[in-house]
Structure 1
Amino acid sequence: MKDKRRILFVNDEMRMGGVARVLNTLMSQLDTEKYEIDCLVLHKRGMLLDEIPDYVHVIEGTPFFNTVDEPLMELIKRLDIGRICSKIRLLFYMKTGLIKKKIGIERNKIIKKPYDVEVAAKEGFCTIFTAFGDSKKKINWVLTDYSVCNYSKRHMKIVKESLEFIDLNIADSKQALEAYEKVFGIKREKGISIHNLMDVDRIKQNAKDSHDINIKSDNLNVIAVARFHPQKSLERLLYAHKYAIEKGYNHSLFLIGGGETEPRLRTIVKENNLTNVLFLGYKLNPYADIAACDLFVLSSLYEGFATIVNESLISGTPVLSTKVSGIQEQLTEVEYGWIVENNQQALNIGYVEAIKNPEKLAKMKENLQAYHYPNEKILQEFMEVL
């Protein structure tokens, strides 16, 4: 019997979010007869640790990496002296270039076998960690639009040096790939785009579950699922909701998620007396709630390939989205939803356009019952490069 290919996926954390969920989906769909799969979580935390497949061996990073996913300013706000010192130490290694040698030292503590393929599951620090390891093939997974937000802008020298050791960059949309190539000067032959895999069967099954939100049958119901983070710009969604209410389009807006911008969002709701906005917190299964609603809204400033858009379509709910990377590769048919320019005014107008015709939304939901996501093709594309 032919030996299995050993694959190591490297991620910084497994908190609720698109990156961790997409990683879990890919690991769950790889053929265990062909691949031996390990997953290194540098800072081992997050709700989605529990969703890593049982046959995946999970490796925990050393304490050196415990602040890799935590911004220094957030630690300062919390007055967490110990972690502030740890973060400053990490940043010192990054700025001086000593991180290259340090990664080798830390890898020797936790990695006990060679790998045929190592995948940095999130571009940035994971890229650096993978680049300065000794796996035979090194892949970097790009999941955001670097033309809009360059997460590596303070560490361009070390990231560019790291990318010299990466064999292939996989971006989740064509626009994200083009942006990454331009920002980092990557040769075209070292990059490809592959859309994110979806756990279609699980989404469809979960969408059939009973929802636990107060859906008003005599009212339109709109939903958003996101990390409450500046990138997702949920403030704009609240103002679009307010604009529609003022135009006479009464409806409910449900927000699933949580995060750093939640206090600001709740303040906007309170100050503007938006009584039909409901915060539902984090949910491992948001799909039943999405399926119960009439419209899903993505109000992001930037994305790479927003998996939640296709998850909404699989759940049978049309989408209104700002014009972000990947969206034109996702909302490819008029019955799937609307794309608006990425500003407040366009979102306001598009929001009203979407909710002013309940009959049209109902027809779109009916048509989406036949929606097909090409998972088989995407999985094959991944297997060809692993």
Structure 2
Amino acid sequence: MPLTHTVINKLQPSSTSIDTKRPDKHSDGNGLQLWVRYTGVKSWISAYRWQGKQQTLTIGTYPVMSLQNARQRNIEIKRLIADGVNPKDHKKEQQASQDGLNIFDNIAQSWYAERKTYLAESTFTRNYSAYMRDVKPSIGQKNINDITAPDILAIGKAVESRGANEMARRTIREVGQIFKHAIRNGLATHNPATDLAEAIKPHKTTNHHRITSQQLPKLLTDINAYQGDVLVKLGLWFLCYTFVRTNEIRFMEWSEIDYKHGLWRIPADKMKAKRLHIVPLAPQAMAILEQIKELGFSDQYVFFNTSTRKPYSQSAFINALWNMGYKGKMTGHGFRGLASTTLHEKEFMHEAIELQLAHDRENKISAAYNGAQHLPYRIDMMHQWANFIDDAYAGKLDNVIHTNFRQQKQKHG
């Protein structure tokens, strides 16, 4: 049976592999195999016959080389054989031409493969995508020792010109880290990226664009009428009901949902503050999850982009809002600000609101944070917030959140 990204991501070394130091072999068909080594490294192998003898050739590692790219490379190997070329000889010739050049992209790919093993998935995806988009096209095929400070600064300035100042600084620092990696491995002698990030203007902090509660009914009507990707539309509704960060919703997994208690438990490694976060899910939010589940797009991720075969990009939700006419008016993060302002106006407990927003403020929330702190109160608050969203959509802003908040304070402390 052909492999899938879901299957590959779940593969772990078997006890036999760990004991014998021999890889587990998983076939994709047409001679393409994925070997899961006892170290956890997943290597793409092309198996073929050459002059009557069985041969294997390593063509890459997952996830640096995707399943689609591995299949394409395997097809290329079959074409070489059909043309009478030994794939191993071809690979040696390619390596011989590149090894002496110290190609920057080869070094970068090696560094990112290491980073993948310990970085949070969202962080790795963000940084690696930025490299592939902004760095590789500019200096990827250059000899690392021919790359100059102006070359690197030009990349940072190009990113800065898009208004992404912090991304520009981060990109330059990443290039510097790749140079340090090369120096440690004897492939470079100096780091031209040192201190270049200081040439990028600091990002001017501004509040995230957001509408007012009075403008909310119009936004909800526009979301409901949205004709784009159905999962993006459902994701916007889910943001309305939960006001989580967009990164948290992008990488939401089915295994994190507690259906019995109506809770979403986000693991610490996915959170900005690196601690478990509990999101009470009102019936409206649970209904959205049921809709998505029935679509059957992914057994792992809730908001799964079937076009790219991975979670949605960071721009998916903001682009949808822009397409609805909210550019400069509303962002995915804006739902958080709207919820915070409205819930404070309705006199909900400040600490409960901050806990639900997962704000990392040591002067207001103890470092000894308990994910279940004020949970009964927060469950009630989130249910009332969901009702507020529904009433706003129905044009009943004057009827929303009927609870006597003084009684709520007495009830929950």
Q: TM-score, normalised by structure 1?
A: 0.31
Structure of higher CA gyration radius: 2
